[in-house]
């Protein structure tokens, strides 16, 4: 069944987020801070590994070479420009605030940044190579195995994230359905016309965006990572232009 991988992925995030909310009540501020540090380190390294995997190659002599550097910069700049015009971060905040008003209960934690959790979890779950390649694989070959593996990883991560961000992490399941579902649908109809080199470049840009979440979790600097989501699709545009 085409699209099954995305549905299982979204369900895993909802389940993990629910478990994380239950654990949140018993986690002190001190442990939340160390969880933030651990999360930031893990997310940053995942981004670095993704960039290195897609951009660095080794020759038979062991010489390392990098590629697609200019395309990476152009994709980030163009994607950020487009995301800023659209105002994706503001869209996340509006949706999160609306749902917070609808779902909030008396005595709930008012300091829980649902909008930030929604945006960070969406970028984390959507920007990796597995989200793009797995969705294309599901659309072209009806093989959701990679997305099933991603579902397990996302479920575990959502447990940890939900202890800090709360309901915002669970809301990212909606983004998964829209994002991965759209890629799967496109791949189903036109996937044979998208070169795998372009897919790899999309994964590269997504991994670079993923690194920014690490700085946010470390408390070094907060980036509007949501506005960089369009950057992952810029390699498709650049492939037609160049």
Residue-wise pLDDT tens digits, 32-67: 678 778 878 887 888 888 888 888 887 777 777 888
Q: Which residue has the higher pLDDT, 147 or 116?
A: 147
Roughly what angle, to the nearest 10 degrees, separates helices 196-218 and 29-55? 150
Q: What is the mean pLDDT of residues 140-166?
A: 84
Q: pTM of the entire structure? A: 0.71
Residue 178's pLDDT is 92
> Tens of pLDDT along 170-225?
888 998 999 899 989 988 887 667 787 887 888 788 888 878 878 877 878 777 77
Report the distance separating Cα 162 and Cα 116, nearest Å: 12
């Amino acid at each position: 069944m085409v699209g099954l991988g995305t549905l299982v992925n979204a369900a895993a995030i909802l389940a993990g987020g629910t478990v994380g909310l239950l654990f949140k009540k018993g986690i002190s501020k001190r442990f939340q801070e160390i969880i933030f540090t651990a999360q930031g380190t893990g997310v940053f390294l995942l981004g670095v590994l993704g960039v290195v995997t897609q951009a660095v190659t080794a020759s038979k002599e062991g010489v390392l070479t990098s590629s697609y550097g200019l395309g990476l910069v152009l994709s980030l700049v163009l994607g950020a420009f487009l995301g800023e015009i659209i105002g994706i971060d503001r869209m996340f905040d509006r949706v999160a605030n609306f749902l917070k008003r609808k779902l909030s209960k008396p005595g709930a934690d008012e300091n829980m940044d649902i909008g930030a959790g929604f945006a960070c979890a969406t970028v984390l779950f959507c920007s990796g190579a597995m989200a793009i390649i797995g969705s294309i694989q599901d659309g072209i070959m009806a093989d959701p195995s990679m997305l099933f593996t991603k579902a397990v990883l996302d479920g575990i991560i959502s447990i940890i994230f939900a202890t800090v961000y709360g309901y915002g992490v669970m809301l990212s399941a909606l983004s998964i359905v829209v994002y991965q579902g759209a890629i799967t649908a496109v791949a189903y109809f036109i996937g044979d016309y998208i070169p795998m080199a372009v897919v790899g470049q999309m994964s590269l840009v997504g991994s670079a965006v993923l690194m920014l979440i690490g700085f946010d979790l470390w408390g070094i600097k907060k980036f509007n990572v949501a506005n960089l989501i369009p950057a992952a699709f810029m390699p498709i545009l650049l492939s037609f232009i160049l």
